[in-house]
């Protein structure tokens, strides 16, 4: 639900961070204004890109911002927020896709949705979101049927997929849906010439979102027996990485062909942050400008950052002066960490099992708790309400050494010069 583009505030810099938050809050408030308080649970990072692209193509006017009241996610501070057709389109797209997610949870009988009364209630919510998204889309000249059709085709494609099936055949519905949404931003901004390049950017963005979601969930899906496109089609992670890198490059090329009034934020999110999202999903680098070696590590370090890889015994190996064994496992029988022990930490091969995904309603309850406690915004790290993956708070402090070079104010991470870059 939260999306793949989760930028670090230090990389954005103060100005672009304010703009990014304006679009995030604008999406949330557009959902509330048009569809009620509960609809705000579908707010997501990727959805706001629709709002960003719409505004980037239009000339800036005073009506594009308004001052919103205090909110727990902003530490009870007021802030300028985006408003207008871009935010409403982002809200409509988010509602329709979220309704599809709810129906998917109902079909899979996840969590509390195993119970018939709750499943029936969830279906009613999803139907309401479908209608609300379609109504707003129609007011903006956007037919959400293309999104619904793409979502409806996905299960059929997955059912037919097997070893040898091209992975791009599985990602096609997502590509089609995002291409339509990106292209319509050109219509709203009055730049019809941008429809084709933005449709291409949207198609590749949808592909990338599907790929990264599959990569991040592959291990958990294998443990739970859930369907995963990489596993089902027999696609290697190396091939998935190649497709992801090609998609990022293609998005940059497509953005070059579009005309913008002010594309600074759109460029940072779609040219810089997407590359970092790919690195994060594949576990190769913390920052997008780190060099990769052929083994997937960076700057000559072993992959995954293991400081002891290829260096002989670890710190608790046979050279340990305090007993020659791992103090956290494999000790003497009957001792903590040893065979038959009754205490201590689990030894090697006895890692605690990872918790599964939460059901839809349980996730909503956790989401509400995160909002009320400001953890969604200010925590250094928190557990995703639905996926239970580790997430970073929007405004948390960043310890990344490279942040001062990544705010696109003359950054050196990809040859930019004041973000008049050609990357």
Interior/surface letters 187-196, b for 16+ CB within 10 angstroms, e for the rest = bbbebeebbe
Structurally, at CATH architecture level, domain 9-293+367-405 sits in Orthogonal Bundle (1.10)
402: which 2 tokens? Answer: 């490279």
Find where tokens 């009506």 sit: 63
pLDDT of residue 152: 86
Convert the pLDDT of each residue in 316-351 to its tens digit: 343 444 444 443 444 444 444 444 444 444 444 444
| Mean pLDDT value across residues 197-217 | 95
Find where tokens 């890889």 sit: 309
CA distance linking residue 156 with residue 102, whole number of Å: 18
141: which 2 tokens? Answer: 């000249």
Answer whether residue 246 shows pLDDT above 50.
Answer: yes
CA distance linking residue 363 with residue 107, whole number of Å: 17
Q: Rg of the Cα trace of the chain?
A: 23
Mean pLDDT is lowest, of 180-194, 261-275, 310-324, for 310-324
Secondary structure tally for the chain: helices H, strands E: 13, 4
Q: Is the dihedral of CA 114, 116, 119, 123 positive or negative?
A: positive
Distances (CA, A) of 136 to 52, 78, 91, 93, 206: 18, 27, 8, 9, 22
- Residue 21: phi and psi, rounded to 5, are -65, -35
Answer whether residue 392 shows pLDDT above 80.
Answer: no
Domain boundaries, the chain: 9-293+367-405
370: which 2 tokens? Answer: 């995160």
Do residues 126 and 132 make contact, with C-beta atoms less than 8 angstroms apart? Answer: no
Distances (CA, A) of 342 to 85, 123, 330, 348, 364: 62, 47, 13, 16, 38
More confident residue, 388 or 90: 90
Answer whether residue 256 shows pLDDT above 90.
Answer: yes
pLDDT of residue 117: 83
160: which 2 tokens? Answer: 């037919």
CA distance linking residue 174 with residue 206, whole number of Å: 5
Contacts 24+ apart (CB under 8 A), 128-131: 129/35, 129/39, 129/42, 129/95, 129/96, 129/98, 129/99, 129/102, 130/95, 130/96, 130/99
| Mean pLDDT value across residues 125-137 | 89
Q: Is the dihedral of CA 147, 153, 158, 164 positive or negative?
A: negative
Give DSSP secondary structure letters for 340-360: T--SS---TT-PPPPP-PPPH
Q: What does pLDDT average to over the chain?
A: 77
| Mean pLDDT value across residues 167-189 | 95
CA distance linking residue 316 with residue 359, whole number of Å: 41
pLDDT of residue 285: 58
CA distance linking residue 78 with residue 72, whole number of Å: 10
Convert the pLDDT of each residue in 14-37 to its tens digit: 789 889 999 999 999 999 988 888
CA distance linking residue 299 with residue 297, whole number of Å: 7
Choose among 419, 310, 359, 286: nearest CA to 101.
359
Looking at residue 298, the DSSP 8-state letter turns out to be B
- The predicted model scores a pTM of 0.70
List all residues 6 or more positions away from 81 whose beta carbon is below 8 Å from its beta carbon.
22, 25, 26, 29, 65, 66, 67, 68
60: which 2 tokens? Answer: 């800036």
CA angle 370, 372, 374 (to 5 degrees): 65
CA distance linking residue 98 with residue 80, whole number of Å: 26
CA distance linking residue 274 with residue 255, whole number of Å: 13
Do residues 281 and 390 make contact, with C-beta atoms less than 8 angstroms apart? Answer: no
2: which 2 tokens? Answer: 């939260």
């Amino acid at each position: 639900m939260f999306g793949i583009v989760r930028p670090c505030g230090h990389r954005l810099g103060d100005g672009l961070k304010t703009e990014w938050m304006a679009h995030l809050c604008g999406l949330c408030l557009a959902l509330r204004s048009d569809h009620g308080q509960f609809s705000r649970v579908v707010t997501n990072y990727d959805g706001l890109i629709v709002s960003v692209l719409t505004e980037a193509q239009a000339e800036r006017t005073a009506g594009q911002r308004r001052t919103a009241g205090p909110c727990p996610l902003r530490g009870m501070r007021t802030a300028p927020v985006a408003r207008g057709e871009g935010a409403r389109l982002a809200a409509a797209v988010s509602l329709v896709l979220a309704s599809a997610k709810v129906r998917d949870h109902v079909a899979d009988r996840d969590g509390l949705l195993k119970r018939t009364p709750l499943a029936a209630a969830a279906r009613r919510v999803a139907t309401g979101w479908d209608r609300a998204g379609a109504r707003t889309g129609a007011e903006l000249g956007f037919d959400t049927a293309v999104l619904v059709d793409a979502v409806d085709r996905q299960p059929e494609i997955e059912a037919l997929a097997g070893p040898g099936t091209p992975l791009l055949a599985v990602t096609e519905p997502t590509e089609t849906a995002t291409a339509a949404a990106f292209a319509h931003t050109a219509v709203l901004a009055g730049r019809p010439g941008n429809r084709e390049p933005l449709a291409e950017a949207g198609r590749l963005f949808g592909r990338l979102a599907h790929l990264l979601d599959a990569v991040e969930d592959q291990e958990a899906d294998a443990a739970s027996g859930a369907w995963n496109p990489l596993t089902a089609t027999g696609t290697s992670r190396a091939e998935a990485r190649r497709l992801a890198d090609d998609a990022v490059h293609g998005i940059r090329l497509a953005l070059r062909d579009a005309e913008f009034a002010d594309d600074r934020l759109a460029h940072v999110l779609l040219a810089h942050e997407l590359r970092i999202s790919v690195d994060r999903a594949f576990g190769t680098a913390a920052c997008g400008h780190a060099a990769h070696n052929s083994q997937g590590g960076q700057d000559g370090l072993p992959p995954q950052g293991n400081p002891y890889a290829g260096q002989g015994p670890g710190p608790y190996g046979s050279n340990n002066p305090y007993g020659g064994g791992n103090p956290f496992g494999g000790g003497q029988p009957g001792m903590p960490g040893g065979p038959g022990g009754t205490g201590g930490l689990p030894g090697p091969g006895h890692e605690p099992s990872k918790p599964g995904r939460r059901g839809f309603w349980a996730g909503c309850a956790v989401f509400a708790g995160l909002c009320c406690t400001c953890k969604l915004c200010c925590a250094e790290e928190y557990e995703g309400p639905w996926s239970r993956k580790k997430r970073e708070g929007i405004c948390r402090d960043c310890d990344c050494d490279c942040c001062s070079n990544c705010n696109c104010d003359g950054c050196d991470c990809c040859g930019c010069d004041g973000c008049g870059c050609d990357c």
